[in-house]
């Protein structure tokens, strides 16, 4: 039985707190929690680990690195 809602991919988003210069401690905790929940906090802590020579890596490792680049970009976009 249909509830009338469109079926398809589930879209999940959170309203990101905007840092306006005040209440940094609150903003920091909220952002850390959001990034942790989305598996992106490690990019804030350690950054993107780029290989020395991408051309020497096997295809699977290149694909893994490309996925890491996307996750890093997602973390940056949220900040």
Helix, strand and coil content of the chain, in percent to the nearest 5, comes to 55, 0, 45
Mean pLDDT (whole number) for 2-19: 62
Q: What is the pLDDT of residue 70?
A: 94
Burial string for 68-77 (b: 16+ CB within 10 Å, else e) reads eeeebeebee
Which is more confident, 42 or 8?
Answer: 42
Render pLDDT for 12-59 as a digit per residue (tens, 0 to 9): 555 888 888 999 999 999 999 999 999 999 999 998 888 888 888 899
Domain boundaries, the chain: 47-79
Full-model pTM: 0.68
Separation of alpha carbons 49 and 47, rounded Å: 6
Q: What is the pLDDT of residue 1?
A: 47
């Amino acid at each position: 039985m249909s509830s009338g809602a469109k079926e398809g991919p589930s879209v999940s988003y959170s309203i990101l707190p905007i840092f306006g210069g005040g209440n940094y401690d609150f903003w920091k905790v909220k952002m850390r929690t959001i990034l942790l929940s989305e598996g992106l906090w490690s990019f804030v802590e350690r950054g993107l680990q780029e290989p020395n020579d991408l051309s020497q890596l096997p295809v699977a490792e290149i694909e893994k690195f490309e996925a890491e680049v996307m996750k890093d970009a997602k973390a940056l976009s949220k900040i």
